[in-house]
Structure 1
């Protein structure tokens, strides 16, 4: 249960409620007024109609101080208290730094469990909701191995591959679920035992949605960008053509994250989505150690970020009753041969792949001007981590 909501958090909740989770409206208002706190001031609510917002947002703002709106908002605040152990805004020091480079990051996250887990090194495992028995076993085995090596396994609490991945990671108490509803709802309802087990075994469940938000279809692609954004890389364990997990893979590609796919029999419909991803540039893997090898550098950066977070919040790591220690992920056996990348370059490096991306593609997901981005890419070239070919920037190994 959340102990209290401060004025800063209250302003974020109020704005998020008034725009009903609309990222574009939220960003437009913050850009115009300067902050969430200023955007929801009573004398500013009457100015919303000047910003070409959706009429529903304008109407909700104009009626916010009516008895009906106030009662509904108070009910939401009560549910946040009841169903959340923590909440993080993008201005909070504990907000996961791996989400900060993305312009579509959620401005607020509600969570159950331990907030500090969000800053740990994570690998996403996703796939079909109706997998083959073989696919579920593979997802479980990969999650079990990777969590044993110290990684948190992040997925969407859906049936099928998500469920198997969470269960495998729970054997070592390292899993994070990102859901597409408010924290007061569990979807699908069949996964209530899994939901409860995640919380019982030191896991974390988060959502960007306010309490009362139902499992609407468009919520899940939104959830997927958080799953991939939190993670160092994403593994598609099994997917048919048209599977929703391919949307998560696309979100990962847009964010510059490494995508891995497990192949199957060429005539198996359960694996056609994975085969398509491999043709499009995803890395074929048949053992989880291969994932650890390829993610050595991003994992090193994640350690640096987590260490900084712990230094800024010493009470969270000194009190074992509040935050039990977690083993650091074991990296590639070639880790000592890898050159470290400066922290300020990691966000750009993560946008690169082995196929090549142009400046516009990289800039689309980073809040950097062209001059700064070009400078960062040049530094990566000098470090031997990037190469330019025919106007495209690619990762390269030393």
Structure 2
């Protein structure tokens, strides 16, 4: 909760309120008048810039007691629900977003504002994933957050949720919302959102309080998700998945796009297969993402710490300690899953011996069973 708002913050909020989240109008006014306070002072002359009539109407009504009361209520909500506010003119503003013409003028957030500039990987996908897709998203997020990356996603159902939960295991996740901080969408993610903010993560939005989850707000949220990240992973997506919009935005931003393939007859993976055909990088293990983003990670670290160019931003976690008698089985496991019969045939083990060893790996946190298949999961500590 913020104790008070600075005059600069109040000015940014006021202009953002008057233009109703319009990026083009905000920056048009800023370019013309030179500063936010000057633009607000000259608001009765905005008609010369051919702004939308709704903006001009809101300016005319702004001095009315009812509108003033509403604006003060909005400011109170911002103070109540925000732990921090950063504008694009602040040093704490995410450096990754500064070069974009459609960068959010200000960001409201809960949690740790300092992680906005840390190395992030976005994981997005279907809101109605298969159990396998959900598990893969969790596993990739778990592994990548263990390596030091923050997992960035949109707090939506399905893949987003799984990615946040995986990153949360190491206190490394960031959620970008398509509403104001006074509400949570989807509502069933209120507990997840609270955990993210409380466990060294952050929840951010560019939208003012009382902003509902309008359909056109989600693509706007997606540009921030991809913009903050070094790369975007599509964990599972149908051809109609909204995550393909995020991939398109990421491509326009020059980001690396990764996609996890699946069965050729599975509709859950058709979106990923389409992205791969269009040039996305096929990955079947999170370490491949770490390797592909090594240079980008180092570049970001050097921008944040120019005095220390020799230290990488991400320190790889040590390989899991696997007992010698389980090493062959662990090596044979993959991230997709294999049946007991497949493992028996591949390792030339009888079912009883194999089952006992799989149970040991599960106890070490190195393997798990899902839908009758055995696969790797997060590394043991």
- Give the secondary-structure state (helix, strand or coil) at the position aligned to 1:176: strand
TM (norm. structure 1) is 0.77
- Measured after TM superposition, the shift of residue 200 of structure 1 is 2.0
**Cα gap change, 1:59 to 1:23, in 2 (>3 Å):** same
Q: Deviations over 1:169-192 (max 9, x none)?
A: 000000000000000100001111
CA distance in 1 between counterparts of 2:66 and 2:314 reads 50
Matches within 5 A, 1:74-223: 74-223=72-221
- Give the secondary-structure state (helix, strand or coil) at the position aligned to 1:87: strand
Match of 1:377 in 2: none
CA distance in 2 between counterparts of 1:103 and 1:200 reads 32
TM (norm. structure 2) is 0.81
Match of 1:329 in 2: 314
Verify: 1:245 aligned to 2:230, yes or no: no
Match of 1:372 in 2: none
**Contact in 2 for aligned 1:293/1:332 (Cα 8 Å):** no
Which has the larger displacement, 198-207 or 231-240?
198-207
- Measured after TM superposition, the shift of residue 243 of structure 1 is 0.4
CA distance in 1 between counterparts of 2:35 and 2:58 reads 19
**Contact in 1 for aligned 2:148/2:316 (Cα 8 Å):** no
**Contact in 1 for aligned 2:297/2:313 (Cα 8 Å):** no
Structure 2 runs not aligned, ≥5 long: 319-381
Corresponding pairs, count: 315
Match of 2:31 in 1: 31
- Measured after TM superposition, the shift of residue 281 of structure 1 is 0.3
Structure 1 runs not aligned, ≥5 long: 311-326, 334-398
**Contact in 2 for aligned 1:127/1:237 (Cα 8 Å):** yes
Matches within 5 A, 1:254-333: 254-307=252-305, 328-330=313-315
The structure having more radius of gyration, on CA atoms, is 2
**Cα gap change, 1:58 to 1:308, in 2 (>3 Å):** farther
- Measured after TM superposition, the shift of residue 302 of structure 1 is 1.7
CA distance in 2 between counterparts of 1:99 and 1:309 reads 22
Query: What is the RMSD computed on CA atoms of the aligned residues?
Result: 1.7
**Cα gap change, 1:22 to 1:75, in 2 (>3 Å):** same
- Measured after TM superposition, the shift of residue 309 of structure 1 is 11
CA distance in 2 between counterparts of 1:200 and 1:125 reads 21
CA distance in 2 between counterparts of 1:154 and 1:84 reads 19
Match of 1:52 in 2: 50
Which has the larger displacement, 145-154 or 188-197?
188-197
**Contact in 2 for aligned 1:122/1:231 (Cα 8 Å):** yes
CA distance in 1 between counterparts of 2:242 and 2:307 reads 33
